[in-house]
Amino acid sequence: MVPRYTRQEIDHIWSDENKYQIWLEVELLACEAQAELGLIPQEDIKIMREKAQINVNRILEIEEKTKHDVIAFLTCVEEFVGEPSRFIHLGMTSSDVLDTAFAVQIKQAGEIILNDLKKFAEVLARKAKEFKYTVCIGRSHGIHAEPTTFGLKLALWYDECIRNIKRLESAIDEVAVGKINGAVGTFEHISPKVEEYVCEKLGLKPAAITTQVIQRDRHANFMNVIALIGSMLEKVAIEIRHLQRTEVLEAEEYFSEGQKGSSAMPHKRNPISSENISGQARILRTNALASIENNALWHERDISHSSVERYIFPDSTAACNYSINRAITLIDKLIVYPENMKKNMDITLGLYNSQKILLHLAKLGLKRQTAYEMVQKSAMRTWKEKVPFLQTLKENEDICKYIKQDELEGLFGYDEIFKSVDYIFERLEIK
């Protein structure tokens, strides 16, 4: 994880201290379950709970010799516990500890990101209502199309955010599973009741079946949802980057007192938050691909996935957490310029009304293709000669055979787009 893009709440989850503490809890819970089955004396459980602890530096020191992290961890714990430690890890394999603890860490990180998304949805809904009737030009292929409202742009992002909340809830539920079933998942040396006990105490569910490891399709699904969240944030960021361009300037990132935009040019105000979010999204997509590659392992297990996961899960959850929180601030403090939106709408001299004229001609009985060609003739003249569209329509003899000039004037405007804005907001349940 890069400290620049890592918030403390995520950094803690993937710290060695937290990881080893969860490993220890998995081992102690397994011992408690074994004691309930009469396999470990209860007095030894009490000693374990009193004495068991971890020392990260000591574990790393032992691992230098053993070249095995779980054995190093167990050796360190044994040094604190003493003689009762003979019961720790009884009938278990390393992945029982690793995968179960990993599920806890993913759940911890996922729940933080889930809370972030809910905050982002709240900000989007509030801003959507604020700009519900703020008219701006809609663009397709980057070219002016027809009017929309800035509130509808925000409402669109809100809707996707709600879908991502549901996706993440489902992905957390799917990945939050543990396994305490031995070397190849058969429970040969340990009772399923141990697994049930450990998982319940940790807030997990037992995986229905595993090999030596929990199957990585669960993890890939989680990582792909994280990547989808990143793509949503990038969608927002790209729109703001376009709208902040000097020649557009319909919206702009907040520029704080004392902030600098360029080491060379004092006038610069750059969309750095949006650009940063776009960059983070690339990391999330790349890591999602790596998580899919992890699903196909040899037989009952190999460790080709392990080194990959040590990178991608901390990095992706950190980047996602960072990006959402940056996006929350971005939208919350976004500067919007309605006057520039209106000015930009006028650039095409009324061409955004072209479909209204087309449909009116069709209602009068003309074939749609015929009407299209008639309107396009005037529209292309406006493009080339910079003559207002209303004027080129009035000077189009074919159109004037069907529509009176005062009728043409009445067809211009954008008030009609408002008639369904409330309906859309009601469907989204933005109140």
The per-residue pLDDT for range 159-177, each reduced to its tens digit, is 999 999 999 999 999 999 9
Same domain, 4 and 33: yes
Q: Which two tokens stand for residue 399?
A: 């159109």
Same domain, 145 and 79: no
Domain boundary among 33, 59, 90: 90
**Active-site option among 170, 262, 304, 420:** 262
Tokens 């949503």 appear where?
Answer: 232
Does residue 192 fall inside a structural domain?
no
CB 189 within 8 A of CB 91: yes
Domain boundary among 293, 316, 347: 347
Same domain, 137 and 271: yes
- Give the residue from 174, 169, 168, 183 showing the smallest Cα distance to 208: 174
User: Sign of the C-alpha dihedral, residues 386, 389, 394, 397?
Assistant: positive
Task: Mark whether 262 is an active-site residue.
Answer: yes
Domain limits for position 11: 1-90
Distances (CA, A) of 14 to 60, 118, 359: 16, 23, 59
Q: Which two tokens stand for residue 290?
A: 């790596």
- The pLDDT value recorded for residue 15 is 97
- Mean confidence (pLDDT) of the chain: 96
Give the relative orientation of helices 42-51 and 16-36 as an angle to the nearest 10 degrees: 170
CA distance 222 to 170: 9
Does residue 80 fall inside a structural domain?
yes
Same domain, 81 and 134: no
- The pLDDT value recorded for residue 128 is 98
Q: Which two tokens stand for residue 35?
A: 């004691």
CA distance 409 to 393: 10
**Active-site option among 141, 256, 299, 307:** 141
CB 132 within 8 A of CB 425: yes
CA distance 42 to 193: 17
Does residue 197 fall inside a structural domain?
no
Same domain, 388 and 331: no
Does residue 9 fall inside a structural domain?
yes
Distances (CA, A) of 30 to 175, 190, 193: 20, 10, 10
CA distance 190 to 95: 14
Positions in the chain short of pLDDT 70: none
- The pLDDT value recorded for residue 421 is 95
Does residue 95 fall inside a structural domain?
no
399, burial (CB in 10 Å: exposed 0-12, middle 13-18, buried 19+): buried
- The pLDDT value recorded for residue 208 is 98
Each residue's pLDDT tens digit, 341-395: 999 999 999 999 999 999 999 999 999 999 999 999 999 999 999 999 999 999 9
Same domain, 336 and 363: no
Does residue 235 fall inside a structural domain?
yes
DSSP per residue, 77-117: HHHHH-GGGGGTTTT--HHHHHHHHHHHHHHHHHHHHHHHH
Does residue 421 fall inside a structural domain?
no
CA distance 325 to 270: 19
Count of domains for the chain: 3
CA distance 228 to 402: 50
CATH of the domain at 222: 1.20.200.10
CATH of the domain at 368: 1.10.40.30
- Give the residue from 185, 180, 171, 175 showing the smallest Cα distance to 201: 180
Same domain, 141 and 282: yes
Give the chain's largest Cα–Cα span.
102
CATH of the domain at 46: 1.10.275.10
Does residue 27 fall inside a structural domain?
yes
CB 38 within 8 A of CB 59: no
Domain boundary among 52, 70, 90: 90
Same domain, 272 and 327: yes
Same domain, 85 and 120: no
Same domain, 278 and 320: yes
- Give the residue from 351, 428, 337, 378 showing the smallest Cα distance to 139: 351
CA distance 248 to 151: 18
Around Cβ 355, how many Cβ atoms within 10 Å? 12
Task: Mark whether 12 is an active-site residue.
Answer: no
Return the SS3 of 57.
Answer: helix
pTM as predicted: 0.95
Same domain, 53 and 81: yes
CA distance 322 to 313: 14
The torsion region of residue 140 among left (phi > 0), alpha (psi -120 to 50) and beta comes to beta
- The pLDDT value recorded for residue 414 is 80
Distances (CA, A) of 255 to 13, 119, 430: 32, 22, 29
Same domain, 359 and 292: no
